[in-house]
Amino acid sequence: MADAPERTRFAPVVVIGLAAAALTSVASAKPWFSATIDYRLMPGVRDPDRSADMPLALALSLVVLAGWGAVLVSRGRTRRIVLAIALLAAAAVLACLVAAPFTLPDDIRGRLLTGSEDVAISPTAWFVVTAVAGAISVAALVAAWALLPRWPTMSSRYDAPGARADDAGAPEARTGTDLWKAFDEGQDPTDPTHAEDPPSP
């Protein structure tokens, strides 16, 4: 009963983490900074030249999103490793957000015409959305890390038959002669229940 409160937090943390990771992925694919240009002074500037995004942040946010999916279907040490990778990726997204104001404006100015030093370049709403969603994503992953030992895992009935047999304990090793003898007696040596059957007369 002591683990009941932690188990009840499983769904809210996972839902919040998935939603934050998905929103971060969407926002990371959008322009983070944009230039305000007077087309009368700079004619012929294309829209893609007026904005800049961060492809690295998009790739990292997709890693976080995939990590949440893997956490749901894994358990034990594998689940802990997957969660650690997702947490590192989410922290790297925040690092991209910190670096963006120092790199993206210069990237935009480098694509504009000469004399663009005075062009106003400001963050877009997507940059703000990414910052908020990214912070929530990190917080959800930290909470998951703290609560993970007491969270439920997927039932072993979804494992492959071989994995279930390994969990239950490997049967006594059998030689090739034993296997051929079982075939001759009409038994299936791959059937885990045949060893319990009484020998045929």
Q: What is the pLDDT of residues 78-89, one digit of tens each?
A: 889 999 999 999
pLDDT band at 2 (very low <50, low <70, confident <90, very high): very low
First to last CA, the chain: 52
- Taking 70 as the threshold, does the pLDDT of residue 100 lie above it? yes
Q: What percent of the chain has pLDDT over 70?
A: 61
Q: Report the alpha-carbon distance of residue 82 to residue 84 in Å, rounded.
A: 5
pTM of the model: 0.68
The pLDDT of residue 10 is: 75
Query: Closest Cα partner for 56 from 89, 20, 34?
Result: 89
Closest among 93, 100, 116, 98 to 26, alpha carbons compared: 93
**148 burial via Cβ count (<10 Å: 0-12, 13-18, 19+):** middle
Write out the residue limits of the CATH 1.20.140 domain(s) in the chain: 4-150
Q: Is residue 22's pLDDT more than 70?
A: yes
- Give the pLDDT score at 7: 56
With 50 as the cut, is the pLDDT of residue 167 above it? Answer: no
DSSP character at residue 79 = H
- Give the confidence band of 56 by pLDDT, cuts at 50, 70, 90: very high
**What is the sign, positive or negative, of the torsion defined by CA atoms of 183, 189, 191, 195?**
positive
Residue 42's alpha-carbon distances to 34, 53, 110, 169, in angstroms, are 15, 22, 14, 74
Fold held by 4-150: Butyryl-CoA Dehydrogenase, subunit A; domain 3 (1.20.140)
What is the mean predicted confidence (pLDDT) over 48-77? 87
Q: Would you place residue 185 in the very low, low, confident or very high pLDDT band (cuts 50, 70, 90)? A: confident
